[in-house]
Amino acid sequence: KAGVTQTPRYLIKTRGQQVTLSCSPISGHRSVSWYQQTPGQGLQFLFEYFSETQRNKGNFPGRFSGRQFSNSRSEMNVSTLELGDSALYLCASSLSGAGTEAFFGQGTRLTVV
């Protein structure tokens, strides 16, 4: 079956702009979580959605937001981009939540200039 699909794979944005990243989970998976990966901070949890509800949120400013649609597809939005937002953004889907295997997409590489 198809894996987790993230689009786009690469993005270049200018400081102050906003960006929307998309994640299509594996069919049947209802949980989608997002992570930011940077060389300095490593992998950090952004938020998790289950059945269109945010169940948990990491320690990121309010500029980072997300949503999940009824088909479980998820988007994350970053407003007023800063240089420090340059990172690999990874999405993971799982059947339900903790304890079920998280399958990761290939990520979206965001560069802010």
Partner 1 sequence: AQSVTQLDSQVPVFEEAPVELRCNYSSSVSVYLFWYVQYPNQGLQLLLKYLSGSTLVKGINGFEAEFNKSQTSFHLRKPSVHISDTAEYFCAVSDIQGAQKLVFGQGTRLTINP
78, amino acid identity: V
Which one, 49 or 112, has the nearer CB to partner 1?
49
Shortest spacing between CB 16 and partner 1, in angstroms: 28
Binding site for partner 1 (CB under 8 A): 4, 31, 33, 35, 42-45, 48, 50, 55-56, 58, 90, 92, 94, 96-107
For 36, list phi and psi in degrees, rounded to 5. -110, 130
Which one, 29 or 85, has the nearer CB to partner 1?
29
Which one, 55 or 63, has the nearer CB to partner 1?
55
Please, which residues have CB within 8 angstroms of residue 14's CB and are 6 or more apart in sequence?
81, 112, 113
CA 82 distance to own-chain centroid: 17
